[in-house]
Amino acid sequence: MKTRTQQILTVPYVLSWIIFIGVCIEAGGSIFSAFYTLVINPINAATFWEGNDLSSLYKYDPGHFFAETLLISIASVMKACMFYLIIKILHDKKLNMSQPFSNEVRRFIIKISCLAFGIGLFTAWGVKYTGWLVMQGVKMPDTQHLRLGGADVWLFMGVILFVIAQIFKRGIEIQSENELTV
């Protein structure tokens, strides 16, 4: 049973590494592109990360350009942190299937829950900010292209994971009670 579980956990471990590398590239690319545009070459706003044209936003106000790219970057970095935590718990083999309810797993779920909720908040904020900028007459790319879509899904995932963490808390209590009675 233990070998089968180890083999099954290898698949999410490899997939997490692939996704982690992708979100790190995304986060680094957006941060570098924003820095390059703000400090070195403002013309780069026309071909911002992944070809998004933010030149009208930069022309409108570099401060708003900074705020928008900051929201994009924070959400991307939080995604990278989330997948780092997933890789870390799988690599350290902290998932014990014989005793699944542990404080380590509960803390992991709470951290992932907080990150998912934070991603949801920052992407929602980014969508509202983009909408406000469009109302001001600034031509903006679609929020999906800016990687700001899906705030509701991230918020929902954060709440669900928080509930699961509370279930784990109760499971830990029951597991320790059972160990005391034996």
| 117, two tokens | 């909720």
Q: What's the domain range around 27?
A: 2-181
pLDDT tens sequence across 144-179 = 888 888 999 999 999 999 999 999 889 888 887 777
The neighbouring-strand residues paired with 48 are 52
Please state the rounded mean pLDDT for residues 66-85: 96
Number of domains in the chain: 1
**Rounded-to-integer distance, Cα 147 and Cα 119, Å:** 11
pLDDT at 75 over 90: yes
Q: At what angle do helices 151-181 and 103-135 cross, to 10 degrees?
A: 170
- The CA distances from residue 21 to 26, 27, 72, in Å, are 9, 10, 17
pLDDT tens sequence across 23-61 = 999 999 999 999 999 999 999 888 888 888 899 999 999
Torsion of CA 51, 55, 57, 60, to 10 degrees: 180
**Rounded-to-integer distance, Cα 181 and Cα 165, Å:** 24
Percent of the chain whose pLDDT exceeds 90: 65
User: pLDDT band at 138, cuts 50/70/90?
Assistant: very high
Q: In this predicted structure, what is the pLDDT of residue 3?
A: 63
Q: Is the pTM of this model over 0.75?
A: yes
